[in-house]
Structure 1
Amino acid sequence: MHRWIFLGWSSSAFFASLVFVDQTSPLVGRLTGTAAACHDESDPDCLDFTATQFNSFYIVFYWVGGIVAMFSGFFIARYGVWLTSCLTAAFQFLGMFLFTLGPYLTSSSSAFALMLIGRLIFSIGLFCQMVLSHQIKSHWFFGKELAVAFALYNVSSRLGSIVALSAIGAIVEDVGLQRTLWITLAFGILSVIGSIVSGWIYKKHASTSIDAAVYVDSKGIGQFGFRKVLSLCREYWIITATVCFVYGPLLTTIADYPQYLSERYGYTEAAAGQITGIVPDIAICAPVFGIFIDKFGWRDIINTLSTGLLFLAVILPVAIGNLQPIVTVTLMGVAYSGIIVGLWGSIPLVVSPGDVGVAFGVALSLQSLATGLLLLVCGILLDQSDLEAAQRWEFFFILLASCGAAAWLLSGVSIFYDHKNPLRPLRMKHVVSVIKTKSNSFIHELTPLINGTDVRGTLKK
């Protein structure tokens, strides 16, 4: 029961965080001074950011978060869950507060500097909290409802994006930029509270409700540094590489597809945003995949099918000239649903519990850096004025399709190596995890309930 309470608070924190993160998209007109309310001066708090300055909010968010995530697992292992939870909550609140104060400064350049610093500090807290939550879910739901837990957690972020995209625009029209930022800050307090409460629940109840072999091994890691990263198994690196090649096309498409619809099909800004929003709308169905995986297994097949659908979603606009946009967003939404459950839920099954925090930190770090890089490259590509619009978008989708093809290929390689493993960690419904103790003097074979029997043994090395 306690693990579900933890998941509820952790998901609430993630939900509120994404509302704050994604508020910048509907506020773009007020931040860049292009909204009608800025021209008629009905909103005197409008800023005058350039497009490059505005995009910097996203690039800094991903790249700084990626660097922080790289070291979060080591920090958690050294200082524990409770201290990390409190620090992440403090960083998130400070970042949100500084971002909210930006419009009060007299010049747009000063406002940009303060808001960028706030965004940077907030990303430190959020990405560290994400790694922490992934580690705890991997331990607490191991062999139980692991896929469903990851699905619900990731869906909470999609709900946050939907709320931000659908509500912030209407709010800012009624109350203006400054008051809107204060409203999102007040809502973001839920993220601070959720981070602290979830950490407290773990501190009070983890030792009595998490399997002893998992809990003891997760309390500390004797080996720090990149040697531990390099010691992670081959299967882990294949999954991590797949994550990098998947999330770049996904998030880049969500960011730039409205512009494509406007230029290619003549959709209005509102209509293009609504069509693109179908992707996170469909991704809310991710718990269905989670229930299937927890009941039947077959993570490797779900991963392969999802990456295949992603590849189709980004190659079809090039292959079929008059492709209806609904086809692309539907395929991508279904792919997204499987990816956020299958790929992330596979990581704790191929590493020992003591390495889960480090493994998730490295994976999230590389995914964020790769996404930021692809966003930057695609932005430069779409800014090439010497190319015709149709040609720019063709190159855009070819680049995304190349990443999608790499992800699909890697998922096939993952099936191959999983087939060679007699334990079949990705295919099986219940997984046998080989857990090494800190001293490496024993190997504990932890087998969750298989056919109603709890099998647990200790093997000498």
Structure 2
Amino acid sequence: MASPAEKAYYRFVVLFFNCMLTFGSYFCFDIPSVLQEQFQGNLTCLNSTVSNGTKCVEGLGLTPQEYNLLYAIYAWTNAVVVIMAGFLIDKLGNRFGVLFFSSLAVLGSAIFALASHFKGTYLLPLMLTGRLLFGSGNGSLTIVQNRITAFWFRGKELALAFGLTLAFSRLGSVLNFFLTQRFETQYGMQWTLWGGTLLCVLGFLSAITVSVLDKVGTKQLGLDGAIQEESRKVRVRDVRLLSLRYWLLVFTIMFFYNGIFPFIADASKFIQDKYSGYSQKEAAYIAGAVYDSSLVLSAAVGILVDYVGLRGVFAVLCAVMTLPVFGLLAFTFVPPLISTIWLGVTYSFAAASMWPSIPLLVPQATLGTAMGLATSVQMIGVGVSNLIVGQILGSKTSEIPLWRWQCMMIFLLINTISCVITSTILNIVDGKQGGALNNTTKRSVDQNADVQTDREPLLSAGEEERTNASTSINTT
């Protein structure tokens, strides 16, 4: 008689709680984007207007450079921490990773909320400390989340599972853009930030649940011992054997996200500065449409990619289709909602085709390390991009000139062009090395040896020390 862990419903229960790991942290991540006016607002408003006649907004008094530093420090922290985090997850297991890193996300969001009580000298250092810890937890939590998803859905509904994971995360982002500004108006910034912390606590409770389900399930499948044995044999030097295809995929991901995240961080203020007639709430809704589209489409796009395959082709297409977005934003006055919805569509295809491709190119035992490296490179790029955007926009807290916004969009466009180049080279190399990324679903099953191409060097390099346990893991 089949054990519960062998049935489809069990892995989807695991998937549900796995998805909830990052719901609250994604909500918290973009709270500054919705409340950018308050973060950059004046410390005090003695009069209803300031000298240039605009309405005075009372807030924390951050400059645009300091505000963008909140996103940059998050990205830099990820870049440094996730490399070691991925290796530790491979070495110590999913249960350690999911509990430890979710607790860091809670601690970081709590310190960030606490910082809002200190207007003055301690404000920025506390906020940066909070974002540093929050980034350490949330970025690493995404790695273990992807590792759990890859284990339970490898060879099954992998892209769908990744799509649903993204959808739940983006649900947190969408609700942030819809609810945060209203909540702040009624209860103030401090209570708003503490509310985000409570949502991170919800993620920690989900971490406890998914760790129990993962432990019970692997024991029922008889794989717990094999996984632990493989984890003990993971070595740092295995990193040098990662293939060219893997690195091309990593840089494709980096360049694509270099366009997405820095834009969303400043989108609300950009819309208010360039397009007339939009309130802060309306601008936040329009900026959040990127996540709205992703939320609606992620599951369907995941099913499509699972059915069709051709992940490399989708990676090129979504990069090419993103080019007009930043062109429209830079050089036209086409309503911004068109651009943000369009960007959300291409983002959905990118997430469903790029990230699920990594498990096809590395062994299960080193997946955490590979995911960590990919996340690190992505966050280095995003962090540098956030800094460059901050320099482009300048240090004044008042309305930013349109020519500066145009320069920002051109910079994001250059990153997207770079993504087109790297994804095209990726497809060329993939075609010469067996075409694992562009196999259709049926061919992927029938020609499993092709999927293993990049994993063979890793296995053969330590053949005398390794077992065939990863093979049995991959067939679950």
TM bucket by the smaller chain?
0.7 to 0.9
Q: Flag the structure with more relative contact order, 1 or 2, with Cα contacts below 8 A and sequence separation at least 6.
A: 2
1:313 maps to what in 2?
A: 325
CA deviation map 1:370-412 (0-9, x unaligned): 0111111122112289xx9454344323222221111112222
Paired AA for residue 242 in structure 2: L
- Quote the offset at 1:448 in angstroms: 11
Report SS of the residue matched to 1:413.
helix
Q: Tell me, in whole angstroms, the C-alpha distance in 1 between the residues paired with 2:290 and 2:403.
A: 25
Moved more, 233-242 or 422-431: 422-431
Structure with bigger strand share is 1
CA contact (8 A) 2:157 2:306 kept: yes
1:378 aligns with 2:401: no
For each residue in 1:153-210, what CA deviation from the matched residue of structure 2 results, as whole angstroms up to 9, or x when unmatched? 1122211111112112111222223333332222221011122222222222124448
Q: Check if 1:261 corresponds to 2:271.
A: yes
State how far apart, in whole Å, the 2-side matches of 1:341 and 1:240 are: 14
Q: Does the CA-based 8 Å contact 2:64-2:393 persist in structure 1? A: no
- 1:83 aligned residue (96, 110, 119): 96
**Partner of residue 8, structure 1:** 16
Matches within 5 A, 1:314-329: 314-318=326-330, 321-329=332-340
Which residue is equivalent to 1:249?
259
The equivalent residue for 1:139 is 151
Aligned pairs for 1:315-394 within 5 A: 315-318=327-330, 321-383=332-394, 389-394=401-406
Deviation at 1:325, TM superposition (A): 2.9
Following superposition, the deviation at residue 328 of structure 1 comes to 2.3
Stretch of structure 1 that moved more, 129-138 or 207-216: 207-216
Give the fraction of aligned pairs with identical amino acids, expressed as a percent. Answer: 24
Pair 1:72 & 2:80 matched: no
How do 1:20-419 residues align onto structure 2 when only pairs under 5 Å count? 20-34=28-42, 47-105=60-118, 107-209=119-221, 215=227, 218-224=230-236, 227-268=237-278, 269-284=280-295, 285-318=297-330, 321-383=332-394, 389-419=401-431
Distance 1:5 1:29, change over 3 A: same
**Residue type of the alignment partner of 1:20:** C
- Residues 252/52 of structure 1: CA separation in 2 closer, same or farther (3 Å cut): closer
Is residue 418–residue 427 contact of structure 1 (8 Å, CA) maintained in 2?
A: no
Shift of 1:330: 3.1
Worse-superposed segment, 141-150 or 59-68: 59-68
Query: Which residue of structure 1 aligns with residue 52 of structure 2?
Result: none
1:251 maps to amino acid: F
In structure 2, relative to structure 1, the CA distance for the partners of 1:205 and 1:405 (3 Å cut) is same
Q: Is the 8 A contact 2:312 2:437 kept in 1?
A: no
- TM-aligned CA distance change 1:141 to 1:51, over 3 Å: same
Q: Secondary structure at the match of 2:242?
A: coil
Counterparts of 1:89 and 1:394, CA distance in 2: 38
For 2:313, what is the secondary structure of its paired residue?
Answer: helix
Q: Deviations over 1:249-280 (max 9, x none)?
A: 11122223333333333242333332222211
Quote the residue 1:440 is aligned against: 463
Q: Deviations over 1:294-337 (max 9, x none)?
A: 1221212211111111122223445x645443442232121101
| Partner Cα distance (1:341, 1:292) in 2 | 9
Distance 1:400 1:104 in 2: 35
Unaligned runs of 5+ in 1: 457-461
Instruction: Give the drift of 1:357.
Output: 0.7
Q: Tell me whether 200-209 or 367-376 shows the greater mean CA deviation.
A: 200-209
Shift of 1:447: 10
**Distance (Å, rounded) in 1 between the aligned partners of 2:186 and 2:402:** 38
Kindly provide the amino acid, as one letter, of the partner of residue 15 in structure 2.
L
8 Å contact 2:150–2:359 — kept in the other structure? yes
Q: Which region of structure 1 is more displaced relative to structure 2, 96-105 or 412-421?
A: 96-105
For the residue of structure 1 that corresponds to 2:32, the secondary structure is coil
The whole-number CA distance in structure 2 between the counterparts of 1:448 and 1:176 is 50
The alpha-carbon distance between structure 1 residues 191 and 311, as it changes in their structure 2 partners (threshold 3 A), is same
- Which 10-residue stretch deviates more, 276-285 or 17-26? 17-26
Q: 1:214 to 1:251 in 2, by over 3 A?
A: farther
Q: Secondary structure at 2:439's aligned position in 1?
A: coil
Paired amino acid for 1:240: V
Judge conservation of contact 1:138–1:348 (CA < 8 Å) in 2: yes
TM-score (norm: length of structure 1)? 0.86
Aligned residues of 2:307 and 2:440 also touching (Cα < 8 A): no
Contact 1:259 1:272 in 2 (8 A): yes
SS at match of 1:24: helix
Query: Structure 1 residues 288, 448: closer, same or farther in 2, change over 3 A?
Result: farther
Distance 2:249 2:214 in 1: 28
Instruction: Report Cα offsets for 1:15-36 as digits up to 9, x if no partner.
Output: 1111122223334444444499
Contact kept, 8 Å, 1:95 with 1:119, in 2: the verdict is: yes
Q: Give the TM-score normalised by the residue count of structure 2.
A: 0.83
Check 1:29–1:383 CA distance in 2 against 1; reply closer, same or farther (3 A cut): closer
Change (3 A) 1:357 1:221: farther
Q: Is the Cα–Cα contact under 8 Å of residues 68 and 387 in structure 2 kept in the other structure?
A: no
Q: Secondary structure at the match of 2:179?
A: helix
Kindly indicate whether the alpha-carbon contact (under 8 Å) linking 2:31 and 2:180 is maintained by their aligned counterparts in 1: yes
Q: CA deviation at 1:446?
A: 5.5
Pair 1:215–1:31, CA change in 2 (3 A): same
Q: Which residue of 2 aligns with 1:459?
A: none
Q: Which amino acid aligns with 2:359?
A: P
User: What amino acid is aligned across from residue 294 of structure 1 in structure 2?
Assistant: D
Q: Distance in 1 between matches of 2:44 and 2:395?
A: 28
Q: Which stretch has the larger CA shift, 278-287 or 78-87?
A: 78-87
Shift of 1:214: 8.5
CA contact (8 A) 2:230 2:365 kept: yes
Q: What SS does structure 1 have at the residue aligned with 2:96?
A: helix
